[in-house]
Structure 1
Amino acid sequence: MADRHTDDEPSTELRTDGGERKGEPTDDLAGVGRRSFMKLAGAGAAVAATGAVGAASALESVDADTVVDLGEEGLSDGDRIDPYLDEHFNDGVEVHVPAGEYGWGGGGFSGDVQNAAVIGQGEVILNTVEGQYRNVIVATGGTVAVKNFTVRGKVEASRVRIEAEEGARVVVDNWNFPDGAEAGTSGRAFYCPGDHAGEAVIRNCYIRGFDDNGIYASSPGRDAGGRVVVENCFVHNNNIAGIRIGGRESVVRNCVVLNDGPAPVAESGHRNQRGIRIANYEHSVDMLIENVDVIHSSEELGGGGPIRWSNDSPLSTGHMQGVRVHNANSNVAAIGEKRERAEGWTGDDITVSGDGDLDVPDWFTNVSTGDEITPSDPTEDGDSTPSDGSDGSDDGDTDAGDGDGSDGDDADGDDADDGGSTDDGGSTDDGESSGSGDASDGSETELVLVSTDSGGLEYTFTATGPITPLYDRDSYRANRSAPGDEAEENDDGTWTATGATAGGSAESGDSFLFEGGLTEFSATGDVDALTVYADGDEIGVDELTEEYGVSDEDNDADGDDDTADEGSTDEDGEDGGDGDDGSDEGDRALSNHVIVDGTRVESIASYTIEVSGDIEPDESISSEGNSRWDEADDIIEDGTVTGVVAKGVDGFRYSGEITSFSVDGVVDVAVDSAEL
């Protein structure tokens, strides 16, 4: 087995088949074992008490003509998988990947395809060898699916872009990203661009530790209006937002959003963890959030709230049902800080708890408040079954981490991160694009300004980091001769570029690299003839500063005027470093965690855990299911806990080491030894 590519303390994953892994490093919470990323709902509760974890994994209606087994094509454990995927992921082909571990250079899944799939046959680990992944999966017809993969290794400026043309469908199922991204590199797991017009389904995924959103799927609301369904996912400690939605009839169902520890800081250097962010765009209508638990267990995570709306207008519409929110942040409301932004939404069967602000829109019905998150009664068809306790983090919207005054779910902007990506067609990228270089604040962006049949124009823009004119580029190079295109540093450490494009019938263009985020962009003259590209993707002038902007006042990527929660004071390296929340000595003593997840099957399991120190329940990482067995109290005595779990999740804090673990039944168990 390959290492987990982290330098943290070792963690152990216990498996109910009697196996045990030891000494494989992982990041903070929940040794999130390779076999249980998706099901772990441990930090909050049970993902889908309907048993959908198994049922939803079925790969439906991929009408492939051919099945190709990569093992038969020569792929062996430890090989680099990219060239095999490049060759076989085509129209009408269902590619099977044998169980094993493979090197992954970050490609292979990209393409405009129809009725195709790539399916891991068992446990398939993709170990990142380049520290990046950049893929664009476009379903042009039928269903295109990727299923059963786990990506290991912390990455930079990475994302998988998924989209479907109208009438087509793209599905990612059990594709897990437990190691996240390096701070300040604009990394995220999945991005759904504005061009998405069909249906995208993201299900059964574990996504943790990204600096620029976990699932960024709000852009379609601004543009093509495509539907996005996020279900049975566990989204854990992601900066900006855990889940973002915005397209017509989009859904978040049976998910856990948990913020119980620090996410990597964004490009701006700030941390602002939110849970679910809802876009207010033209096509942000008829959306649904049901059976979702959002847990925000600390006030020291940058100020983000559990469920938030983006900019004021136009208003989105939708309904929340069976939603449970735990909020420890006293500076931001549990659901919606700005009432006018929530006016198009209704809510029913809402439970809020915690020591923070428990405010909910006052027109929501059946709202209850308590010390603990309790499940709702499931409906007959199971649609309202309780989900797992989780937390949330809502994003500011830009890739650049914080700072723009809008939701910023811009199709371009985000994929613009796909910058040097080989999959983004049509780009003006001539090989100079930087995608994600190691800039002073973690990122470089290539900006190309092109005018066509214009009367000429002048422009200026300012960035928080250095700006470099690209004088030697093959096309659209910056001009050295007077009046030249140039950049210089300002007294406050920012940089400003100025330049002009020529008039006439031909194209004229200039190119720059800028580091950090934009604080200003303006152009005068024949602006209607101007086309702007960021990292190879066309982006509107008005959207440029939304997607790449950094607020001068508080670096609030959210842009929702949400007072102190946005311009977080919890910056990386300050006040306890990366997220030490100053919990009391008792909590520190019980700094280890064990999570018993009973949501995997429709049965009851009993278990016994013995530790060398003390052990006690942790309600913040527990959730009851829809069985009376989950309501039974666990018996704890002399460092031993005996419990029963059906469709819920039992979480405990303990000191010392686990000396014995036994289970009668089927559960997923995760153990970690890192302090929260």
Structure 2
Amino acid sequence: MARDDTGGGAGNEHHTSRRAVLRAAGAATLALGAGGVASAQSDTTVVNLGKEGLTDGDAIDSYLDTHLADGVEVRIPAGTYTYTGEGLNGKYADAAVVGSADGVKFRRPKDPEKKVAPKIVAKRGTVRIENITVKGASGQARSRWRVGAAADASVHLLNVNFPDGAVKKSSSMGVYAKKNHAGLLWVKGCHFAKFADVALHVSDPAGSGDGRVVVDDCSFVNTGTAAVSAAPDNSAVRGCYFEATESAPAGSDGNSQHGVQVPVPGGDLSVADCDFNWAGPGTSVVDFAGGGEGGSGALSDLRVGYGDQKSLFTTGWDIEAGWTGEAINVSEA
């Protein structure tokens, strides 16, 4: 299946364990420097928060609230900053938040029950969030980054990472695609780990906003109910690494650890060129749950290393009704 243009190409690198090397290289390639005023778009205003007084250890919300706006690219110097998510809230046109390639961390409140749920919407053009690592496990059920784009607009999450996941039995998530998402959500080079529930929940636009979702070169390590919940038409999960070598925090689905979950029917969904290290407690690598078998799509070029699992692919779906599978290599891990 041909790859559609998402504003940037995903390579065909062979993906290994944690993808640390890949993500480090991707960060250096994607990131814009913290200094200077040059921009890829001549009509974009660039604001360097370091020059606006932001220093390592500060709360960043007020800086983002002041400077992030339509046509503005906000650059963040390397450092660790406390945040509540409020500074990211909003509907934007052609805006960006770009962290330094040397490392930018957003540290959530120490109390995991504090809700952190920024709503990031592209109303026109492209909204880009790049080179940000969120630190601290979440607990409050509605904590998640809520993202979406209007038709003909797009949100790009590039090297945005959630390594600390959630506390036990929490239904909080990393990133959630809003039901009215109607444009393109591109998630590239991101890392998710230790969630009890779904780490990247992007299936809800199916049958609603019907926005497209493309997940490229991401890594998902020891996450709960599902690493990715996908379904919207013409969406893709490609070049990703999935690992289930240790138990995730128990979630609403007990200790189930699925890779890609297809909970509702979608059209022409592609899962391709992915590695699954399923040597530990993981259940199915691809799970057609709750009616997902009624859609259509293709599983191709998958490499699966398994342990003691009884079933790596859930049964009960009719491969002749719209799903195909090819070049699926399954071996003992």
Q: TM-score range by the shorter chain?
A: 0.7 to 0.9
Matching residue's letter, 2:133? T
1:43, CA displacement in angstroms? 3.0
Provide Cα deviations, 1:120-166, integer angstroms capped at 9, x if missing partner. 02311112225442111110000001000111111223210111010
Decide whether aligned partners of structure 1 residues 178 and 148 sit closer, same or farther in structure 2, where only a CA change above 3 A counts. same
1:588-628 CA distances to partner (integer Å, 9 max, x unpaired)? xxxxxxxxxxxxxxxxxxxxxxxxxxxxxxxx5xxxxxxxx
Secondary structure of 1:221's match? coil
Any unmatched runs of 5+ in structure 1? 1-38, 355-619, 621-676
Partner of 1:107: 86
The answer for the alignment partner of 1:140 in structure 2 is 123
Q: Distance in 2 between matches of 1:64 and 1:161?
A: 27
User: Which of 275, 290, 303 does residue 293 from structure 1 map onto?
Assistant: 275
Name the counterpart of 2:203.
218
Pair 1:127-2:107 in alignment: yes
- Cα distance in 2 for partners of 1:215, 1:62 equals 30
In 1: Cα distance, 2:292 partner to 2:160 partner:
34
1:174 aligns with 2:159: yes
Structure-2 residue corresponding to 1:347? 325
1:156 aligned to 2:139? yes
- Do the aligned residues in 2 keep the contact of 1:259 with 1:273 (CA within 8 Å)? yes
- DSSP-derived class of the 1:219 partner: coil
Is the alpha carbon distance of 1:58 and 1:84 closer, same or farther for their aligned partners in structure 2, counting shifts above 3 Å?
closer
Report what 1:273 is aligned to. Answer: 257
C-alpha distance in structure 1 between counterparts of 2:46 and 2:238, whole Å: 32
The residue aligned with 1:198 is: 183
Q: Distance in 2 between matches of 1:47 and 1:231?
A: 15
Question: 1:280 offset after TM fit, Å?
Answer: 3.2
Give the drift of 1:342: 7.5
Alpha-carbon separation, structure 2, partners of 1:256 and 1:107: 31
For residues 207 and 182 of structure 1, the distance between their equivalents in structure 2, rounded to whole angstroms, comes to 14
Structure 2 residue aligned with 1:116: 95
1:38-85 deviation per Cα after TM superposition (whole angstroms, max 9, x unaligned): x9x653668879x99469737897675211111111111110001111
SS at match of 1:246: coil
Unaligned runs of 5+ in 2: 1-12, 33-38
Deviations 1:69-114 (A, max 9, x none): 1111111111000111111111111001111111122331111111
Q: Residues of 1 paired with 2:222 and 2:288: CA distance?
A: 19
CA contact (8 A) 2:293 2:317 kept: no
Structure 2 distance, partners of 1:342, 1:162, is 34
Query: Which string of whole-angstrom CA distances, capped at 9 and with x for unpartnered residues, describes residues 174-220 of structure 1?
Result: 11111111112212111112211100011111110011111111111
Distance 1:345 1:167 in 2: 28
Tell me which residue corresponds to 2:17: 43
Paired letter, 2:17 = A
Indicate conservation of the 8 Å contact 1:64/1:94, yes or no: no
SS of 2:91's partner is strand
Asked whether the equivalents of residues 31 and 131 of structure 2 are also in contact (C-alpha less than 8 Å), the reply is: no
Partner of 1:69: 48
* CA distance in structure 2 between the partners assigned to 1:77 and 1:52 by the alignment: 24
| 1:625-663 deviations in Å (ceiling 9; x for gaps) | xxxxxxxxxxxxxxxxxxxxxxxxxxxxxxxxxxxxxxx
Of 148, 161, 172, the match for 1:187:
172
In the superposition, relative to structure 1, how do residues 52 and 244 fare at CA in structure 2: closer, same or farther (>3 Å)?
farther
Amino acid aligned to 1:320 = L
* Alpha-carbon distance change, 118 to 309 in structure 1, aligned in 2, over 3 angstroms: same
The amino acid across from 2:264 in the alignment is N
SS where residue 339 of structure 1 aligns?
coil
Whether the 8 Å CA contact 1:292–1:322 is kept in 2: the answer is yes
TM-score using structure 2 length: 0.85
CA displacement at 1:349 relative to structure 2 = 1.5
* Structure with more relative contact order (C-alpha pairs < 8 Å, separation 6 or more): 1
- The alpha-carbon deviation at position 305 of structure 1 amounts to 0.7
Q: 1:208 aligns with which of 193, 199, 224?
A: 193
Amino acid at match of 2:128: A
In the TM superposition, residue 312 of structure 1 has moved relative to its aligned partner by: 3.2
Q: Please point out which of 313, 321, 326 is paired with 1:335.
A: 313
Return closer, same or farther for 1:200/1:319 CA change in 2, 3 Å cut-off. same
Q: Residue type matched to 1:137 in 2?
A: I
**Residues 53, 120 of structure 1: CA spacing in aligned structure 2 closer, same or farther, 3 A cutoff?**
closer
CA RMSD of aligned residues (A): 2.8
- Which residue in the other structure is 1:608 paired with? none
Structure 1 length normalisation: TM-score?
0.43
- 1:295 and 1:306 in contact (8 A); partners too: no
Please show how residues 568-607 of structure 1 align to structure 2 within 5 Å.
Answer: none
1:165 aligns with 2:143: no
Residues 345 and 63 (structure 1), Cα distance of their counterparts in 2 relative to 1, 3 Å cut: farther
The Cα of 1:315 is off from its aligned counterpart by 1.6
Change over 3 Å in CA distance of 1:79–1:52 after alignment to 2: closer
Counterpart residue identity of residue 212, structure 2: R
- State how far apart, in whole Å, the 2-side matches of 1:115 and 1:105 are: 23
SS at match of 1:148: strand
Decide whether aligned partners of structure 1 residues 225 and 43 sit closer, same or farther in structure 2, where only a CA change above 3 A counts.
Answer: same
Instruction: Decide whether the 8 Å contact of 1:159 with 1:188 is kept in 2.
Output: yes
By how many angstroms is 1:329 displaced? 3.8
Counterpart residue number, 2:65: 86
For the pair shown, the structure with the greater C-alpha radius of gyration is 1
Instruction: Work out whether residues 44 and 256 of structure 1, in 8 Å CA contact, stay in contact via their aligned partners in 2.
Output: yes
Query: Alignment identity in percent?
Result: 33
Residue 302 of structure 2 corresponds to which residue in structure 1? Answer: 323
> 3-state DSSP class of the match of 1:337?
coil
SS in structure 2 at match of 1:91: coil
Aligned to 1:431: none
Letter in 1 for 2:168: A
Instruction: Tell me how many residue pairs correspond in the alignment.
Output: 309
